[in-house]
Amino acid sequence: MMLTPPRGACRVLGACAALVVALFGAAAPPALAQRATLERMIRDTVLANGLHVIVVRNASVPLATIEVVVRTGAFSQLTPEDEGVPHLLEHMLFKSGDGTMAGSFDDAAYKVEAIAHNGVTEAEAVAYYVTLPSKNLAKGVKLMADLVRSAEFEREALKSEQRVVSGELQRKAAEPQYLLYHQASQALWGEGWSRKNPGGNLLAVMGATPDRLRGFFRKYYIPNNSALVVTGDVVAAEVFEAAAKSFQSWKQGDDPFKGTSIAPMPPLKASRTGVVEADVTDLTFLVRWHGPSVGTDAAGTYAADVFSELLNQPLSGLQQRLVDSGLFQSVTLGYETQKNVGPIELYARTTPEKLEAAGAALKKEISLFSQPGYFTDDDVAIAKKRQQVLTAFQLETATSLAHPVASLWSVVGLDYYMDYVDNVRAQTPDDVRRFVARYLAGKPMTLTVLVSPANRRAMRPTLDGLLSKWGVE
Amino acid sequence: MIRTSARIARLALAMALLGTVATPVAMSAAAQSRDAPSLDSVTVTYEVGGVKVIHRPVSATDVVAVNLYLLGGVRQVSADKAGAEPFLLYASEYGTKGYPGSSARLALAHTGSWITVSATADYTRYSFRGIKQEFDSTWAVFADRLLHPTLDSAAMTITRGRLLPSIRSASESPDGHVSQVADSLAFESHPYAIPAEGTEGSIAAMTADDLRSYSAAQMMTSRMLLVVVGDISRAQIERVVTATFATLPRGAYTWSLPAEWPAKAPRVAAIQRKLPTNYILGYFSGPLQSSPDYPAFAIAVGYLGGILQDIIRSEGLSYAAGAPLLERGATGGGVYVSTVRPDTVLKIINTAIDYIQRDALPRQALIKHAQRYTNGYHYRTESNAEQADVLAMAQLYRGDFHAAADYGAVLRKVSGGDVTRVARKYIRNIQYAFVGDTTRAPIKLMLKP
C-alpha cells in the first residue's frame, strides 16, 4: 500500500536512532544493562512452523498493533523484471486472501474495528499491520494470518492494482524531493540500484504477471521467513495462543536464501555528482556515502547513529557553522541500518544566492569530520540527554512500537534490537572516529543538487564549478 | 454512472450488514473508553494570574507536555504583519534577556526537552515536551523566550532566512500547491485568507520593532490557554505561571469562534503544472463544532471519504482519494484525489455526494461510526502531548474539554436522517482547486451546485 511507515515509526532507522534507543532505555537506571530490561518487557517464541512471534506489552491505552513482517523487499529483486514485484505483491495481498479475508481486507478490517491498517515495502522488509482495540486481538491475529498465508492473483484484480501502484509511483514522481532522492540513489548504487528500489520500476510493475507474483509469494511468504510482532495492551500468553491457532496451518518452506548468493553492492569507486531539475525555489544538496552493512560491521552501525545524533544537535559545530551562519536553512545527517550496505546521507537546503558560499562551506565541513576535536564531550553529554528524553516519549505510544521491531527483525534479527541500547551507550569517541575514518573521511560520495531549470541556467558556471571540484581534496 | 450508483448502494448495504455483527454498543463503549472518563475526572481547570489552565496530573510516565495556546491566530494580525507571532517565538530561540545568545539553546539542550512553535489559523501553539525532572529548568527557558526575547539582528536574520525558504517551498509539492489554491479560493473573504506562518512579503519586511510592538499589544493573559499533562502538581504550575506569564497584563481578549464561510456558488481554480498526474481538492463549508449539526456533518464527511476511497481505489483510478474534515474554528469538509482520469473520478464523486444526500445511512453503520470514533480517540491520545491538544481543541471549539471523551456518545445519537439532511445543507457549492493538465480538468463536473 505504501512505501512509508505507519505513524511514529521510522523507515530510516539511522535518522531515528534515538527512537530505537528510546524505546526502552529509560525504563531502568542507565547503569543497568538494557537487554535485561527489554527481556522483562518483551516475550518471544518460535512456532513449530518457524514463525517468530514477538510481543511487546504496553497497556497505556486499550489498543494493539499486530504486524506481520516478511524478509523480502527490494533486496530480493534479483532481475530487472523483479523491480517492484515485492511492492505490487504487497498491494495484491490485500485483494487475494481467504477466510476472514473473503470479501476484501478493508471489509474484514472494518469488522475488527481497525483504526489503521496498511502495508509497507522497504529495502529489506515487507510488513503488514493493523491497529485495533485489544479486545479484538484474536480476531486481528486471525485476520493477519488470512492475509499472508495464501493468495490468489486473479488477472483482472492484478490489472486494477497495477494501475493503483502506477498512480502511487506517479505521485512520487511529482514530488521534487523524491526526484532528488531517486536520482541520488541511482548514482549511489549504480548497477545495484534495482536491489535498493522498493517502489519499483513502472515497466516491471506493469509487466508483472500472476505467475511472477506467485513465484515470489511461494518463495518468501513462508512462516520460517516471517515474524509476527504484537505491541500494546496485550498479554504474551494470549498472543502466543492466538498465533498458534491462526498461523499453524501456514506451511513451512525451504529457506529462500539457502543456496542463493545475493551479490554484494557494487562499491562506489569514485565520487559522482548530478543535478535534478524540478519546479522548486531553493536548492537542496544531497550527499551520500556507502555506510556499514549490519551483517558484517554491526559496531559501525551504532557509531553511525551516534555520529548522526551529534551532528544534528542544534548547537553542534556543524549546525553553528552551516545553519546559524545563515548559509543553509537546514542540514541533517542520517544513516539507514541495512544488511546490504546502509546509506549515510546528508541533506542541506540553501538559497540560490548563497550557492557558492554554502557549497564551499559544506565541502569544507565534510573534510573536517575526521579532524581531532570535531565534536566535544559536551556534545556527547547533550546527545545522551536527548536520548534519555526521547526514550520516555517513545514509551508513551504503544501502537507505533511494532514497526521498528518488525523492520529490524527482518534486516538483522531480534538480538540486534535487544542489544542496541547497550551497544549505542557503549560507543566511545574513538569508536565514532573509527567509523568516520572507515566510511567518510576521504571516501567516495555522491552529490546531487535539486534546482529549478531557471536557477540552473542563471547559476550554471557556479554550480558546474562546484560539482567539478566535489570530491577533490 | 449506473454501475457506480449500484456500487455505492452495495457498499452502503455492506456497511449496514457489517454493523449488525458488531459487539453491542453499550458493552463496546464501556470496554473501549475505560481510561477516558477516569482521566477526565482527574483533569481540572483553574486560573493563575489571568491565565486559564487545564491541568491533567497523570503519573504513568515521566513525560510532561506543556502547551500554551495564544488565541486568535490570524485574526490578531493584518495581512502585512502576517506571521508576526510565530516569527517572534522562533526568533526568541536565538537569545533572551535571561539567556543571551546561544545560551538559551544550550540551557534547553541540557534539559533534553523540545520546544516547538506551531502557527494555525485559530491560535499559535507554543509548547514544550520533556521529562518531569527537567520541568523547572525547561520552563525557565520557555517563559523567558516568550517574555523577554532579545530579537537582535542576528536572531532576526537567521529566523528570516529559515522562514522565507519554508514559505516559498510550501507549494513545491503538488499536495502543498493544491492546498494553497483551494485555501485561497475557499477563504477568499474570510480571516483564514491570511496565512498563519506569514507571506513572503510580510516576513521579508518584518522588523524587530514590529515584533516588539506586536508583543506589547498582544501578549496578555486573557489570550492564553495553558494545558499541562503530566506528573506535575498544581502548586508547581501556580508557582511558575505566577512568576512569569502572570506578570503580563490581563488585557480584554475574549475567545470566540470565527465566522462560517458558506460559499454562494461552486467555483474552480485550475492551475497548469506539468506533472505525471493531476491533483484535485475541493472544499465545502461546515457548521461550527458547537452547532447541533456538526456531529452529523462529521459522519457525512467520513462516510463520503470511505466511499470515495473504496470505489476509486478498487477501480484502479487512484492511489489516493478521500474526504478531509477541516476540524478547526470555521469548519469544512472536502474531496481529494490524485488521478490521471479526472473526468471519471469526478463523476464518481458527484454520484457519491448525490447518494449521501438522498439515502439515509442505516442505523448499524452509524453505530459503527461512533465506535470508530471512540477507538480513534484512544489512538489520538496515547501520548501526553496528544492529550493536551485534544483537551484544548475540545475546550476551544466545543466549549468544554470533556467534549472530546464524550463525543462518542454524541455521535451515537445521530440518525440517518440527520446525516442526509446535513449532507444536503452543507455538501454543496464546492470550491475546487485543480493542479495538473488543465486541458483535462472536468470543469463542468466540478461546477455542480
Query: Which of the four pLDDT bands, split at 50, 70 and 90, describes residue B314?
Result: confident
Torsion sign across C-alpha atoms A375, A376, A382, A388: positive
Q: In sequence order, what are the residues at sequence separation of 6 or more whose Cβ sits closer than 8 angstroms to the Cβ of residue A251?
A: A49, A222, A223
pLDDT band at B383 (very low <50, low <70, confident <90, very high): very high
Identify any residues that bridge with A130 across adjacent strands, giving them in sequence order: A66, A117
What are the tens digits of pLDDT across the range A15-62?
333 333 332 222 333 334 567 777 878 999 999 999 999 999 988 889
Distance CA B190, CA B348 (A): 30
Buried b (16+ CB within 10 A) or exposed e, B226-265: bbbbbbbeeebbbebbeebbbebeeeebebebbebbebee
- Give just the sign of the alpha carbon dihedral B184, B187, B190, B192: negative
Q: Does A28 touch chain B (CB under 8 A)?
A: no
Residue with cell 499491520: A129
Q: Compute chain B's Rg from CA coordinates.
A: 24
| C-alpha distance from residue B408 to each of B38, B305, B404 (Å) | 16, 19, 8
- Collect all residues of chain B within an 8 Å Cβ-Cβ radius of residue A165: 319
* pLDDT reported for residue A307: 92
B174: closest CA of chain A, how far (Å): 7
Using an 8 Å Cβ cutoff, are B58 and B229 in contact? yes
Q: How many angstroms separate the CA atoms of B76 and B82, rounded? A: 9
Question: Which of A62, A164, A390 faces B316 most closely, judged by CB atoms?
Answer: A164
Band of residue B16 on the pLDDT scale cut at 50, 70, 90:
very low
Shortest distance between the Cα of B421 and any Cα of chain A, in A, equals 26
Q: Which three three-digit cell numbers place residue A259?
A: 543456496
Instruction: Record the cell numbers describing residue A290, joined without a space.
Output: 556507502
Highest mean pLDDT among A16-25, A150-159, B160-169, B224-233: B224-233
Interval B323-340: pLDDT, tens: 999 999 999 999 999 999
pLDDT tens digits, B356-374? 999 988 888 888 888 888 8
| Nearest CB to A107 within list B18, B316, B372 | B18
Contact with chain B for residue A62, Cβ under 8 A: yes
Rounded CA gap, A336 and A75, in Å?
14
Q: Which residue among A62, A171, A390 sits closest to B277, beta carbon to beta carbon? A: A171
Q: Which residues of B touch A389 (CB under 8 A)?
A: 111-114, 130-131, 134
Q: Which H helix or E strand runs over B284?
A: strand B278-285
Closest alpha carbon to B190 in B353, B64, B73, B36 = B73
- CA A114 and chain centroid, separation: 24
Q: Tell me the C-alpha distance between A76 and B18, whole Å.
A: 39
CA of B23, closest CA in chain A: separation in Å?
10
Q: Three-state secondary structure along A35-48?
A: HHHHHHHEEEEECC
Contact by Cβ (8 Å): A196, A74: yes
Instruction: List the Cα angle A165/A170/A173 in 5-degree steps.
Output: 130
Contact assignment for B165 to A159 by CB distance below 8 Å: no
Nearest chain A CA: its distance from B179 CA (Å): 15
What does each C-alpha distance from A427 to A305, A323, B172 come to in angstroms? 10, 27, 40
Q: Is the pLDDT of residue B228 over 60?
A: yes
Are B32 and A386 within 8 A, CB to CB? no
pLDDT above 60 (res A8)? no
Give per-residue pLDDT as tens, A424-469. Answer: 878 888 899 999 999 999 999 999 999 999 999 999 999 999 999 8
Q: On the CB side of B152, how many CA atoms lie within 13 Å of its CA? A: 11
Answer whether B109 sits within 8 Å of A313, measured CB to CB: yes
Chain A, 344-383: which have a CB under 8 Å from a chain B CB?
A: 349, 351, 381-382
pLDDT in tens, A231-257: 999 999 999 999 999 999 999 999 999
Give residue B122's pLDDT: 98
Which pLDDT score, from 0 to 100, does residue A97 have? Answer: 62
What are the cell numbers at B267? Answer: 467555483
Report the pLDDT averaged over residues B235-261: 97
Q: How near does any CA of chain A get to the CA of B175, in Å?
A: 9
What is the reported pLDDT for A377? 79
Instruction: Locate the chain A residue with the closest alpha carbon to B20.
Output: A111
- CA nearest to B104 within chain A: A315
pLDDT at B18 over 50: no
The DSSP secondary structure of A279-297, one letter per residue, reads S-SSEEEEEEEE---TTT-
Enumerate residues 6+ apart whose C-beta is below 8 A from A257. Answer: none
How is residue A193 annotated by DSSP? G
Whether chain B has a CB inside 8 Å of the CB on A26: the answer is yes
DSSP string, B398-445: HS-TTHHHHHHHHHHT--HHHHHHHHHHHS-S-EEEEEE-GGG--HHH
C-alpha distances out from residue A16 to A22, A75, A278, A358, A402, Å: 9, 22, 28, 26, 15
pLDDT of residue B368: 84
Distance CA A409, CA A46 (A): 13
Over the stretch A201-225, which tens digit does the pLDDT of each residue have? 999 999 999 999 999 999 999 999 9
The answer to whether the Cβ–Cβ distance between B383 and A113 falls below 8 Å is no
Question: Where would I find the H helices in B33-172?
Answer: 36-42, 84-91, 103-111, 135-147, 153-168
Task: Check residue A110 and give its pLDDT.
Answer: 86
What's the pLDDT tens digit per position in A390-430?
767 877 888 888 999 999 999 999 999 888 878 887 888 88
Is the predicted pLDDT of residue A368 greater than 90, yes or no? yes
The shortest C-alpha distance from B258 to chain A (Å) reads: 31
Characterize A420-437 residue by residue with b for buried, 16 or more Cβ atoms within 10 angstroms of its Cβ, and e for exposed. Answer: bbbbbbebebebbbebbe
**How far is residue B296's CA from residue B414's CA, in Å, rounded to a whole number?**
6
| pLDDT for the residue B374 | 86
End-to-end CA distance of chain A: 44
Mean pLDDT in chain B? 90
Residue A33: predicted pLDDT? 58
Name the H helices within A196-254: 202-207, 210-220, 236-247
Helix runs in B174-327, H state only: 174-186, 200-205, 208-218, 234-243, 294-314
Nearest to A280 among B113, B169, B339 (CB): B169
With CB atoms and an 8 Å threshold, state whether A62 touches B166.
no
Q: B34 and A107 in contact by Cβ < 8 A?
A: no
Q: Do B316 and A175 touch (CB under 8 A)?
A: no
Stretch among A118-127, A460-469, B20-29, B225-234 having the lowest mean pLDDT: B20-29
Inter-axis angle of helices B403-412 and B25-32, to 10 degrees?
Answer: 170
What is the percentage of chain B residues whose pLDDT exceeds 90?
Answer: 78
Question: Picking from A460-469, B26-35, B428-437, which range would have the lowest pLDDT averaged per residue?
Answer: B26-35
A–B: how many Cβ contacts below 8 A?
A: 168
Enumerate the residues of chain B whose CB falls inside 8 A of the CB of residue A140. Answer: none
Identify the three-state secondary structure at position B199.
coil
| Whole-number CA gyration radius for chain A | 23
Mean pLDDT of chain A: 88
Residue A428 is predicted with a pLDDT of: 86
Higher-pLDDT residue of A21 and A168 is A168
**Which pLDDT does position B285 carry in this prediction?**
97
Is the CB of B382 less than 8 angstroms away from the CB of A397? yes
CB atoms A177 and B105 under 8 Å? no
> What's residue A398's pLDDT?
81
Q: Which residue has the higher pLDDT, A24 or A140?
A: A140
pLDDT band at A472 (very low <50, low <70, confident <90, very high): low
Q: Take residue A308 and report the three cell numbers written for it.
A: 548522526
- pLDDT surpasses 60 at B446: yes
Q: Which residues of B touch A382 (CB under 8 A)?
A: 109-110
CB A443 within 8 A of CB A289: yes
**3-class state of residue A228 by DSSP:** strand
Q: Give CA–CA dist B433/B445, Å, rounded.
A: 13
Q: Whats the size of chain A, residue-wise?
A: 473
Q: ipTM of the predicted structure? A: 0.82
Whether this prediction's pTM lies above 0.90 is answered by no
Q: Which residue did the predictor score with more confidence, A426 or A179?
A: A179
pLDDT by residue (tens digit) across B75-114? Answer: 999 999 999 999 999 999 999 999 999 999 999 999 999 9
- Does residue A318 have a pLDDT over 70? yes
* Contact state of A160 with B316 under an 8 Å Cβ cutoff: yes
Q: Do B109 and A111 touch (CB under 8 A)?
A: no
Q: Position B365: which residue type? A: A
Which residue in A has a C-alpha nearest to residue B371's C-alpha?
Answer: A113
Query: How far apart are the CA of B379 and the nearest CA of chain A, in angstroms?
Result: 8
- pLDDT tens digits for range A382-391: 877 776 787 6
Whether A2 has a pLDDT exceeding 60, the answer reads: no
Chain B residues in contact with A399 by the CB 8 A cut-off are 379, 382
Instruction: Tell me what pLDDT residue B37 has.
Output: 54
* pLDDT for B8 beyond 60: no
Percentage, residues of chain A above pLDDT 90: 71
- Give residue A102's pLDDT: 63
Residue A471 grid coordinates: 570530491
Name the DSSP letter for residue B96.
Answer: B
